[in-house]
Amino acid sequence: MPVLCDAIASKGLSNLVVVAPDAGFAKKARQWSERLHAPLAIADKRRVDHSESAEVVELIGSVEGRTALIVDDFTISAGTLADAARVLVERGASSVYAAVTHGLLAGPAVERLDASPVQKLFMTDSVETQPVEFSDKIEVVSVAALLGEAIRRIARRESISVLFS
């Protein structure tokens, strides 16, 4: 989160609102919103059948006229991101971005992302996704410096908790 938040803050996105893709990620999304000094909205998903697919049916919070940033811990198919982005645009978001810590991007994920209203997906390099070819909508943010500092601190028996505050 700290590395992604810093990368997003450097983009100068104005009138930002952080969006949790579901109620289960709301607590973590609150940390993003506090770090980015932005309000929080929460998408409400429901599973329509016994498959793994879900659809966003409601949005708690206002996104109208704002730059929406969907945050999540990971994405595999980009289905939730694409669905949430569609709802955000329907609810008046001026633009939609997304950030995930781990981008696995399997199957049609890149194509789904490209067809969605998401303007840019920020993700770390924590997962090797090769040979998936990334589109221009994907920006990889390196966590190498963070991991290096964590290793240095562990070797010196120093706290690493300060890296994640």
Arithmetic mean of pLDDT, 54-69: 89
Range of the domain at 54: 2-164
Which tokens hold the place of 125? 């390099």
pLDDT, averaged across the chain: 92
Quickly state the pLDDT bin for 56 (edges 50, 70, 90): low
Quickly state the pLDDT bin for 164 (edges 50, 70, 90): confident
CA distance 93 to 77: 23
Which tokens hold the place of 63? 């996104």
What is the per-residue pLDDT for 48?
A: 65
* Structural domain count of the chain: 1
Q: Are 73 and 52 in contact (CB under 8 A)?
A: no
pLDDT in tens, 15-55: 999 999 998 999 999 999 999 999 999 998 766 665 556 67
Q: Tell me the CATH number at 73.
A: 3.40.50.2020
Q: How far is CA 17 from each of CA 32, 45, 89, 122, 128, rounded to the nearest angstrom? A: 10, 19, 13, 16, 29
pLDDT in tens, 76-122: 999 999 999 999 999 999 999 999 999 999 889 999 999 999 999 99
What is the per-residue pLDDT for 133?
A: 84
Q: Which DSSP string do the residues of 85-99 spell out, in sequence order? A: HHHHHHTT-SEEEEE
| Count of alpha carbons within 13 angstroms of residue 160, beta-carbon side | 12
Q: Are 129 and 105 in contact (CB under 8 A)?
A: yes
Pick the catalytic residue: 11, 27, 45, 120? 45
Pairing mode, strands 118-124 and 40-46: unpaired
Active site residue 45: yes
CA distance 29 to 14: 18
